[in-house]
Amino acid sequence: MNSQRNYANELAFRFTKLISSEAAAGILLILVALMALLVANSPLGHSYHELFHHPLSWRPLPRLDTLHAWINDALMAVFFLVVGLEIKREIIDGELSSPARRRLPVLAALAGMMAPALIYLATAGLAEPARRGWAIPAATDIAFAVGVLALLGRRVPASLRLFLLTVAIVDDLGAVAVIALFYTARIDPAWAMAAGAVLIALLACGRLRVPFLSVYLLLGLGLWICVLNSGIHATVAGVLLAFVIPLRPLRRESMLLRLEHALAPWNSFLIVPLFGFANAGVALSGHGAGGSLLDPVPLGVALGLFLGKQIGIFAAIVLADRTGFASRPAGASWLQLWGMAVLCGIGFTMSLFIGALAFPRFPELVEEAKLGVLAGSLLSSLLGFAILRFAPQPGRSGQTTDAA
């Protein structure tokens, strides 16, 4: 009896430790993606589609007429708010706060966005509408990548984990810019001007050091409504709000840090998994999974994530180190850096999001893009994990780290 109780306690301890670890969010995303695929390809597939895409009977905001629209345009605005808060914190006080610190991750992130886009265009072609998906493989999923790193434990140097996080943050900033510049529909001038007015009011609150978070959040809600109706994608409002939230303490604590800490668990364990479940369910029947993956769009997305990310990021690190532009992360071997670059090809959340924006009038291409995202992310996670798992540890067993 005691042995059974001890075994149960040990299981409970291990489960609690897993849930509280960085790996939990990534593991949850993996499970959610698998569940979405299983449901979409089961007898429940039609009900799954109807749940998210059937028009709602009550529409307080006409533009949000389905549950899928509420998730992608409303809940994901909160996701982008958290991303924006993290970016601002890193720029002001973190790894992007000085030119020396941001030199290598910015270069690596830019190369890691350009190479996948070029590989996608070379594969999918320049004809419409396929070329509109060029940005789909350009983004890295932080939760997935960090989750894989956490599963590896101490085999991964802390400097490598920090570098991957920094690259992914710059990557997210680039993805936000791409969404705002290239995936914006026709703009309604009146609503755009209203959004500008609300943004000015938010900036004034920051200048006047208004100490009430509720004021910023209420104005942020108004900003989101204006941006939603302006034609600019509503999630951009989340980033704009994040950039005006003060980081410096106004009373006893930082408003930005308080908001980020409050939203981060909801973001990781509710919003992103719900988005994943609503968007990752691609039906594989009817056209054949193998043949579909070899079509231009899914193949371009998969190759962009799997090959483009690792080529762009690793080549940027080697070039920067060899030319003296910036030094590679301390304590990491070249093999480990390659493994980290491969992991950056995990593009689940942001890639699925951009895929939905790229082909609004071509639902079949959205489904094909999903298949490419899942294939490229799976290959990147498996190869990246294998490289980092079996890479010799620097400074052990006489191994050197200087040979490229």
Q: Which of 29-33, 37-41, 131-135, 329-333 has the highest mean pLDDT?
A: 131-135
Question: Is the preceding omega at residue 62 within 30 degrees of 0, hence cis?
Answer: no
**Residue 333 phi, psi dihedral angles, 5° rounding:** -80, 165
Q: What is the pLDDT of residue 250?
A: 59
* Helix locations, 134-288, DSSP H: 142-152, 158-182, 189-207, 213-230, 236-244, 255-266, 272-279
* pLDDT band per the 50, 70, 90 thresholds, residue 396: low
pLDDT band at 186 (very low <50, low <70, confident <90, very high): confident
What CATH number corresponds to the domain at position 70?
1.20.1530.10
Q: State the Cα–Cα distance between residues 109 and 111, nearest whole angstrom.
A: 5
**CA nearest neighbour of 167 among 96, 114, 84:** 96
Residue 203 domain-assigned (yes or no): no
Cβ-Cβ contacts under 8 Å for 96 (sequence gap 6 or more): 87, 90, 102, 105, 106, 166, 169, 170
- pLDDT above 60: residue 276: yes
Higher-confidence residue of 163 and 23: namely 163
- Confidence at residue 150, expressed as pLDDT on a 0 to 100 scale: 75
Are 288 and 43 in contact, with CB atoms under 8 Å apart?
no
Please give the pLDDT value at position 95: 76
For the cut 60, the answer to whether the pLDDT of residue 290 exceeds it is no
pLDDT, tens only, 80-131: 899 889 888 888 887 778 888 889 999 999 999 999 999 999 999 999 999 9
Domains: count for the chain: 1
Confidence of residue 398 (pLDDT cuts 50, 70, 90): very low
pLDDT tier at 395, thresholds 50, 70, 90: low
Instruction: Tell me if 221 is assigned to some domain.
Output: no
| 337 inside domain | yes
Output phi, psi for 328, to 5 deg. -70, 160
Asked whether residue 92 is domain-assigned, the answer is yes
Q: At what angle do helices 334-343 and 158-182 cross, to 10 degrees?
A: 40
Nearest to 354 by CA among 294, 305, 288, 295: 305
Q: Is residue 264 part of a domain?
A: yes
- Average pLDDT of the chain is 85
Q: Which residues contact 361 (CB under 8 A, 6 or more apart)?
A: 129
Residue 121 domain flag: yes
Give 285-336 as a DSSP string.
TTT-HHHHHTSHHHHHHHHIIIIIHHHHHHHHHHHHHHHTSSPPPTT--HHH
pLDDT at position 234, please?
86
Q: Does 171 reside within a domain? A: yes
Q: Which of 399, 384, 397 is nearest to 156 (CA)?
A: 384
Whole-angstrom Cα Rg for the chain: 22
Q: Which domain holds residue 386?
A: 27-54+62-184+233-390
Among residues 97, 75, 183, 101, the alpha carbon closest in space to that of 138 is found at 183
Q: How far apart are the first and last CA of the chain?
A: 56
Residue 146 CA: distances (Å) to CA of 44, 64, 94, 160, 357: 32, 32, 18, 11, 26
Q: What is the torsional sign of CA 71, 73, 74, 77?
A: positive
pLDDT at 314 (0 to 100): 97
* pLDDT on residue 102: 84
Burial class for 341, CB neighbours closer than 10 Å (0-12, 13-18, 19+): buried
Contacts of 169 by beta carbon, 8 Å cutoff, 6+ apart: 86, 87, 90, 95, 96, 105, 142
Identify the CA nearest to 176 among candidates 235, 222, 229, 217.
235
The HSE-up count of residue 361 (CA atoms within 13 Å, CB side) is 6
pLDDT at position 307 over 90 = yes
Give the tokens for residue 75: 């809940």
pLDDT of residue 206 exceeding 60: yes
Rounded to an integer, the average pLDDT of 178-186 is 81
Q: How confident is the model at residue 140 (pLDDT cuts 50, 70, 90)?
A: confident
Residues in the chain: 404
pLDDT of residue 75: 93
Look up tokens 């997210």; give the residue. 172
Report yes or no: 136 and 351 within 8 Å, Cβ to Cβ: yes
pLDDT at 25: 77
User: Picking from 20-29, 30-39, 77-86, 88-97, which range would have the lowest pLDDT averaged per residue?
Assistant: 20-29
**In the predicted model, is pLDDT for residue 13 greater than 50?**
no
Is 122 contained in some domain? yes
